[in-house]
Amino acid sequence: MRHLSLFLASGLAALASQSHAQQAIPDTIVTATRIPTPAERVPAAITVITRQDIEERGYQSLAEALTAVPGINLVGQGGLGGQTSAFTRGTNSSHTLVLLDGVPINDASTPAGAFNFGQDLLGNLDRIEVVRGPAASLYGSAALGGAINLVTRQAPQGGPGGKVFAPFGEVAGGSNSTIRGNLGATGRVEAFDYLVSGQSLSTRGSNALAPRLQTTNGERDGFRGQSTMARLGWTPVEGSRLEGIVQWRQNNFGLDGSNNAFRQADDPNYSGEDRRWFGQLRGETRLLDGAWTTGLRGFTTEDRRRYVNRPNPGASGIADDLYRGSRTGLDWGNTVRLPGFGAFADGALAFGVTHALEESRSLSGSPASRTRVFAQQHVTAGYASLQYRAWERLDLTAGLRQDSTTGFTDATTWQLGAVLALPEVASRLRISAGTAFRAPSLYERFGTNASTLGNPALKAERSTGWEIGADTDVALFGRPRAATASWTFFQSRITNLINSVRAPLPGFVFTSVNVDRADIHGAELGLTLRPAPWLETTANWTITEAEDAITDRRLLRRPEHVVSITARVVPTPRLVIAPTVLFTGRSSDFLITNTGDFGSRGAVRGGTVVNLGATYKATEVVSLFLEGRNLGNSRWEPTSGYVTPGRSLLVGTRFAL
């Protein structure tokens, strides 16, 4: 009876063990398999950005933190608040799924469900796990290119007796009248633990438009953002836990639009507001002497975006657009440790069921042609993931998922992977293959106005992909891991891509149809050098060939080459210097001419950005830091017409008691 009451008390939370494992064992990855697994045994290309990385490199936003990740190309339209898209391994911007503590947070009201990486600050995060490659068999729709899990900070878990209180915070200021602050505390009282934190950032920003444009007047696009988070947990006995999380953030920022001649131009009256509420209640308990962990989670997330533009002498654009997207659901998740047999050991099975209700309530566009989306859809899925280790060196993984979405054919996805350890040559070889899909968005299915007609009969976009890669440690200078070389080759084919075409109706009416296909292949090459205890440097080179399978033309905004070089230099035990060099090669885009006109398709030149972070540990609990961005003042345009924010410098202090 006692075990039954504990199971019921564990109430609303699935897979709570995921974030706990990530906190307790930094080298354990959950996002890639749903089962806590050592990183070297995961059959996927993964990158983990820790809290230490965020602070030492001076990452301020989610977009900044992802710029050096292999296989991901961030394309922004200005600085903080501007639309920033991620193209993972050459897939579309809507093909990267973003999770917050395991819950999908892609906005259901966006036209294709794409995530805006220019909005989220990092004060509440503990780590970021990036999994490249198809991940739909684990998380469902949208993970054709990969999945990114944002893991929030967590307090020490409760235990028998004792009290703990640990405040933390930072304050910084610098260029463009930027002021940033973060304050929080974690604590534990008996079996209860808690965390509260808040962050605020205000900046005048910089001009998002390229200085070459004749239509720019130097108007800055400012940004003000706030976020808060509260977390409360209860661990009545070892192996059983109940936890609730609430998070809120709101950003206000400036935008640019078109002037009276329909040219890209500065617009001082164009502004945006982006707000998100997120909450979940989750619990877990262990059964069968700890061999079976089961849990239930309830979650809800709501995004509210509003863009307002009033006419002025230089720009005639008028807008009052409101987008509201929400996702509410339940997860039941389980992890069962399986017995070994013969040469097979370390077996584990993860399985569960999830259900979510997605809604969009949006009204946008000009007064003469308002786009309305008032629609919802239910998504129900069941999944299972199995893994075993054979002969103490071969890790095998298999996953299967079935998704059912209101109004169109169900989607079945699978994934197979293997990792072979070769200690004789200090290497590991991995290979994986899988399928993925993206369900049509509510806008694509039901959005209507005078010139747009939704298509409820749309099919899901689908992909099949594979990858093979290896990591090798090299001994030099008397150091067993003086260097690590890595390589990954990947390939995917995407069908049923959704595009807008002229509808067979009178007038200029467009609708969405499944007409496009894409072929993508490429390589991720990496080299890490550790010639001395005080120096570590990593170079990553991503090569991507992403083409339209019908026309053989390169897909837009997918550069062929992206190179990142990072280093961590520790000249003294108290000082850490972390420079970053980012080079992005040329890509294809629709060009904005010097007069601000929207031109034809062409090549956008590549560019290089240099950033620097430095941290000095003044005392055991207080550190001083410096963050330098775009130190070379590059005028590179990630998107034609929009320039990289100019040189800036921030100085500050942080403490953790």
Cβ(415)–Cβ(132) under 8 Å? no
Cβ(182)–Cβ(60) under 8 Å? no
User: In sequence order, what are the residues at sequence separation of 6 or more whose Cβ sits closer than 8 angstroms to the Cβ of residue 5?
Assistant: none
pLDDT tens-digit readout, 385-419: 999 999 999 999 999 999 999 887 789 999 999 99
Between 160 and 266, the higher pLDDT residue:
266
- From 247-251, 482-486, 594-598, the region with the lowest mean pLDDT: 594-598
Whole-angstrom Cα distance, residue 229 to residue 278? 9
Cβ(324)–Cβ(361) under 8 Å? yes
Closest CA to 96 of 31, 151, 155, 43: 31
Whole-angstrom Cα distance, residue 640 to residue 606? 11
Q: Indicate whether 11 pLDDT > 60.
A: no
**b/e 362-376 (16+ beta carbons within 10 angstroms → b):** bebbeeeeebebebe
Between 27 and 295, the higher pLDDT residue:
295
Strand partners, 167: 185
Whole-angstrom Cα distance, residue 380 to residue 331? 10
78 φψ region: left (φ > 0), alpha (ψ -120 to 50), beta (else): left
Host domain of residue 28: 2-656
Task: Please state whether beta strands 84-88 and 96-100 pair in parallel, antiparallel, or not at all (unpaired).
Answer: unpaired
Segment 517-540 mean pLDDT: 96
pLDDT of res. 501:
83
Whole-angstrom Cα distance, residue 300 to residue 330? 9
Q: Supply the CATH number for residue 247's domain.
A: 2.40.170.20
Number of domains in the chain: 1
Whole-angstrom Cα distance, residue 122 to residue 589? 30
pLDDT of res. 21:
30
Residue carrying structure tokens 């069941």: 382
Cβ(492)–Cβ(449) under 8 Å? no
Segment 239-254 mean pLDDT: 95
Percent over 70 (pLDDT), the chain: 93
Q: Average pLDDT over the chain, rounded to whole? A: 90
Whole-angstrom Cα distance, residue 186 to residue 192? 11
Whole-angstrom Cα distance, residue 22 to residue 39? 11
Whole-angstrom Cα distance, residue 51 to residue 128? 8
Q: Indicate whether 78 pLDDT > 50.
A: yes
Segment 176-204 mean pLDDT: 95
Segment 500-518 mean pLDDT: 80
pTM of the model: 0.92
